[in-house]
Amino acid sequence: MTYYAVNLIIYIISIFLAMIALNCFHFDRFLRKGKQKEFYLFYIMASCVFGYLFAQFILSFGTFSSHL
């Protein structure tokens, strides 16, 4: 049970960190007028993708290092 709770916490933290990391880019240069909804959808999806990949890396690294 605690394994799944730790995984969930790591996923949430990594998605939050991905959102912070994506804020450093100036996407407003590429944003068209009237396309704010699509941009926010892209922003959320990109944050989830990068957060998921980062969390998988952290969890795999932790599993791998515990087997050494």
pLDDT tens-digit map of 11-59: 999 999 999 999 988 877 888 888 888 888 999 999 999 999 999 999 9
Q: Give the chain's end-to-end CA distance (angstroms, integer).
A: 24
What is the total count of domains within the chain?
A: 1
Question: Domain residues for 41?
Answer: 1-65
Q: Confirm whether pTM is higher than 0.75.
A: yes
Q: Is the CB of residue 14 less than 8 Å from the CB of residue 54?
A: yes
Q: Report the pLDDT value the prediction gives residue 65, as an integer from 0 to 100.
A: 78
